[in-house]
Amino acid sequence: MELVVQRGDITTVEVDAIVNAANSTLLGGGGVDGAIHRAGGPEILEATKALRASELPDGLPTGDAVATTAGRLPARWVIHTVGPVYAKTKDRRHLLVSCYRRCLEVADELGANSVAFPTISAGVYGWPHDDAVAVAVDTVRSMALAVAVEKVVFVPFSETMETLYNDQLAKEA
C-alpha cells in the first residue's frame, strides 16, 4: 500500500473514494462534511437520507463507516464515518482507530483502489492534532496487508498538519 500526503481540499482529490468526517445523523454539518455536501451536490444527501430511512434509523454509530455516491465529486464514492468527540467519549482512541479500519474495509468491499482521508475528529471534535495524525498513519499502516486498497492519500488542510503527516510517515512503522 502506497501512503501519500496531499495538502488541500479533499473534495478535489482524484481517488476512488473520499472519506467524510460526518456526524451520526449523516444529514450534513460543518467542516469537511459541509464542504463535501456543497461540492458533491444534493445526491449525497439524498443517499444518506435513504440510508437513515432504511438500515440506519438511529444514525451511524461512532467508529463505523458507510458508503454513498459521491455525486459530482471526482471520486466515485464518499465513505462517511463518525469520529469520537475528544472531550466526551469513553474509549475514544479505540473508536478513532475503528473509523480508519472500517473506512478501509468498506473501501475494500466496494473495490476502491485509492482512498483519501481527512484528519478525522481533528476539527470541531477537538482531537489534539499530533495524536490524530499518529492514529491515522499508524492505523492505515496496520491495515496494509488486510485490504486490497493500493493507495491512501492523507489530506491535511493546513501546512502545520502537513508537517505532522510527513513527520509521522518518516517514523519507522
Annotated active-site residue in 33, 91, 131, 138: 33
Nearer to ligand ADP, 68 or 81 (CB): 81
From 77, 100, 154, 157, residue interacting with ligand ADP (rule: CB under 6 A): 157
Q: Is residue 31 part of the contact set for ligand ADP (CB under 6 A)? A: yes
From 104, 123, 153, 164, residue interacting with ligand ADP (rule: CB under 6 A): 123
Q: Which of residues 39-68 bind ligand ADP (CB under 6 A)?
A: none
Alpha-carbon gap, residue 73 to 53, rounded angstroms = 24
From 77, 100, 117, 125, residue interacting with ligand ADP (rule: CB under 6 A): 125
Handedness of CA 103, 108, 109, 114 (dihedral sign): positive
Q: Are 158 and 120 in contact (CB under 8 A)?
A: no
Q: Is residue 155 part of the contact set for ligand ADP (CB under 6 A)? A: yes
Query: Which residue shows C-alpha cell 493546513?
Result: 158
Nearer to ligand ADP, 32 or 106 (CB): 32
Nearer to ligand ADP, 95 or 155 (CB): 155
From 40, 63, 71, 118, residue interacting with ligand ADP (rule: CB under 6 A): 118
User: Is residue 16 annotated as a catalytic residue, yes or no?
Assistant: no
- Cβ neighbours of residue 1 closer than 8 Å, sequence gap 6 or more: 140, 141, 143, 144, 147, 149, 150, 151, 152
Alpha-carbon gap, residue 158 to 140, rounded angstroms = 21
Contacting range for ligand ADP; rule: CB under 6 A; set: 9-17, 40-48, 103-111, 137-145:
9-17
Tell the smallest beta-carbon distance from residue 145 to ligand ADP (Å).
27
Q: Are 79 and 115 in contact (CB under 8 A)?
A: yes
Copy the grid coordinates of residue 78: 464518499
Q: Are 87 and 73 in contact (CB under 8 A)?
A: no
Residues that bind ligand ADP (CB under 6 A): 9-11, 21, 31-33, 35, 83, 118-125, 155, 157
